[in-house]
């Protein structure tokens, strides 16, 4: 594969410092490690941190937004949940929920998805959205889904 000549390679910290939103799409068991390195990566003081992890963060079994809020403050932490899988989003469309205790963050985050043509509802209950996602995964495993 030939790469375009204008392609620039930058450290991850360069993009993180300029970002309005940083989406953390990592398994919940690895979220603690990512959070610990994120601050060192030059995360902007106003950058919103958005979790799409489903599950609880070890070792204490806390929801991702709780762990993120402890590190970055509640005003810049959100989550995105829903029954959607990436494949469904591309082929059939699906709906998401953007949730934060910060109303403005919830609204602007939902607009990011809506502008991309994705149905996105808003919630002020990130804990509920995360626990619903964790429960959905547990139910799917119990039913034999992989």
Determine the Cα–Cα distance for residues 94 and 21; give it in Å rounded to an integer.
21
CA 69 to CA 49: how far, in whole Å?
9
Backbone angles phi, psi at 30, to 5 degrees: -105, 0
Q: Length of the chain, please?
A: 146
Annotated catalytic, 54? no
Query: What is the Cβ-side half-sphere exposure of residue 142, based on CA atoms within 13 angstroms?
Result: 6
Exactly one of 32, 127, 136, 137 is catalytic; name it: 136
Q: What angle do CA 53, 64, 43 make, to 5 degrees?
A: 90
Whole-angstrom Cα Rg for the chain: 16
Query: Which residues are known to be catalytic?
Result: 136
């Amino acid at each position: 594969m030939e790469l375009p000549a204008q392609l620039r390679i930058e450290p991850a910290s360069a993009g993180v410092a300029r970002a309005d939103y940083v989406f953390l799409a990592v398994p919940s068991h690895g979220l603690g490690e990512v959070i610990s390195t994120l601050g060192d990566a030059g995360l902007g003081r106003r950058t919103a941190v958005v979790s799409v992890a489903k599950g609880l963060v070890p070792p204490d079994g806390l929801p991702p937004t709780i762990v993120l809020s402890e590190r970055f403050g509640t005003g810049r932490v959100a989550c995105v949940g829903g029954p959607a899988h990436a494949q469904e989003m591309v082929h059939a469309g699906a709906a998401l929920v953007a949730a934060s205790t910060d109303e403005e963050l919830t609204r602007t985050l939902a607009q990011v998805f809506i502008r991309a043509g994705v149905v996105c509802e808003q919630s002020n209950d990130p804990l509920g959205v995360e626990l619903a996602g964790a429960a959905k995964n547990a139910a799917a495993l119990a039913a034999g889904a992989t």
